[in-house]
Amino acid sequence: MHGEYKVPGGKLVVVDLEVRDGRIADFHLAGDFFLEPDDALADIDAAITGLPGESDVATIAAAVRSALPDGAQLLGFTPESVGTAVRRAMITAPGWREFDWEVIHDRAVSPSMNLALDEVLTTRVGDGRRNPTLRIWEWNESAVVIGSFQSYRNEVDPEGAAKHGFDVVRRISGGGAMMMAANSIVTYSLYVPASLVAGLTFADSYAFLDDWVLEALRSLGIEATYQPLNDIASPSGKIGGAAQKRLANGGVLHHATLSYDMDGAVLTEVLRIGREKLSDKGTVSAAKRVDPLRSQTGLPRDAIIDRFIEVFSKRYGAVPGTVSPEEYAEAEALVEAKFATEAWLKRVP
């Protein structure tokens, strides 16, 4: 069995093993990480060899830690990443390069259409009717997008939203509200099969699916990091956040919104952001909560999007794609039946 796991912001961990009589045998760890002392590699191999084949990530990580000599240094990987690679080997989880990827950057559509397209394209990937896809959003109206489980009344100030021309819509994924002013953010969606994130905890899958974004941001001069559970940040502050939805048919939606040029004063009038949430993010005012990409790169929004597409395409061999007429039609019907209805918007009052 063979398993690989790219540590978000770190190195590649590779494992090869067999399972005999229910136990791990002939285990070998490899990768482009750094490890001192050298012979600690053999210690790790010996610690995992003989473990029960059903051992979870925590059990494997504990075995690695117990085997490491005093003062050992692991750079670019962790005992947990070794456990993750082992679990992915056990279930033969495919890597990114084993799929044929498409990148879509189509015409602007309404926020409701973007949300409907997320559901349609995720479903089609889960059904095997579409290749795994990265889609960059474009929209022609400003909107507040609230999470699937958020209270409309508690999150949005209707008067402030109307004053500044923001519609309010609800997405199918959880997480917090996004204030999406036209041309002021960068939003993308990944539509992937569940097999890509097999063997990963729900929390780890966030960083795993956004690792390419960290590479793209770093290539633009931003020291980007991932802050659990779902924040993308830099030393200057939060840049954006991600959310996920997993469908019963095996389709996984992972989307993220990064701020390009956020007006903090408008945000405080449109969203009801409580003091407790601000303190949890380590900030003292909503105006400082999201640090915009423009101030850190000095680049036009289009240039940032171009770099995102370039990095993703090079890293995973993706080719340009488009939303088909049938997919647009299906999404339009879903807007009418679901995303534009009061019943959906107020499902949590």
The CA-based angle 82-85-90, given to 5 degrees, is 130
Q: What would the 3-class secondary structure string for 188-212 be?
A: EEEEEEHHHHCCCCHHHHHHHHCHH
d(CA 254, CA 191): 7
pLDDT in tens, 291-349: 689 999 999 999 999 999 999 999 999 999 999 999 999 999 999 999 999 999 999 98
Domains plus CATH for the chain?
A: 2-90 (3.30.390.50), 96-345 (3.30.930.10)
So what's the pLDDT on residue 83?
97
How far is residue 307 CA from its own chain's centroid?
A: 17
The CA-based angle 7-208-139, given to 5 degrees, is 145
So what's the pLDDT on residue 275?
43
So what's the pLDDT on residue 75?
97
Question: Is the CB of residue 150 less than 8 Å from the CB of residue 177?
Answer: yes
So what's the pLDDT on residue 291?
63
How many C-beta neighbours within 10 Å does residue 241 have?
A: 22
Over its length of 349 residues, how does the chain's per-residue pLDDT go in tens digits? 999 999 988 999 999 999 999 999 999 999 999 999 999 999 999 999 999 999 999 999 999 999 999 999 999 999 999 999 999 999 989 999 999 999 999 999 999 999 999 999 999 999 999 999 999 999 989 999 999 999 999 999 999 999 999 999 999 999 999 999 988 999 999 999 999 999 998 889 999 999 999 999 999 999 999 998 899 999 988 899 999 999 999 999 999 999 999 888 898 899 997 544 555 554 445 555 456 899 999 999 999 999 999 999 999 999 999 999 999 999 999 999 999 999 999 999 8
The edge-to-edge listing of strands for the beta sheet with 133-136 is 225-227, 231-234, 237-246, 251-259, 185-193, 133-136, 102-104, 319-321
What's the whole-model pTM score? 0.89
C-alpha closest to that of 92 among 199, 225, 224, 216: 199
C-alpha closest to that of 316 among 194, 189, 121, 134: 134
So what's the pLDDT on residue 278?
52
Largest CA distance in the chain: 68
So what's the pLDDT on residue 310?
98
pLDDT in tens, 86-111: 999 999 899 999 999 999 999 999 99
d(CA 273, CA 155): 7
d(CA 293, CA 222): 9
d(CA 232, CA 220): 15
- Burial zone of 148 (CB within 10 Å; 0-12 exposed, 13-18 middle, 19+ buried): middle
Q: What would the 3-class secondary structure string for the chain be?
A: CEEEEECCCCCEEEEEEEEECCEEEEEEEEECCEEECCCHHHHHHHHHCCCECCCCHHHHHHHHHHHCCCCCEEECCCHHHHHHHHHHHHCCCCCHHHCCCEEECCCCECHHHHHHHHHHHHHHHHHCCCCCEEEECCECCCEEEECCCCCHHHHECHHHHHHCCCEEEECCCCCCCEEECCCCEEEEEEEEEHHHHCCCCHHHHHHHHCHHHHHHHHHCCCCCEEECCCEEEECCEEEEEEEEEECCCCEEEEEEEEECCCCHHHHHHHECCCHHHHHHCCCCCHHHCECCHHHHHCCCHHHHHHHHHHHHHHHHCCEEECCCHHHHHHHHHHHHHHHCCHHHHCCCC
Q: Phi-psi category of 29—alpha, beta or left, where left has phi over 0 and alpha has psi -120 to 50? A: beta
So what's the pLDDT on residue 274?
52
Q: Phi-psi category of 72—alpha, beta or left, where left has phi over 0 and alpha has psi -120 to 50? A: beta
So what's the pLDDT on residue 279?
52
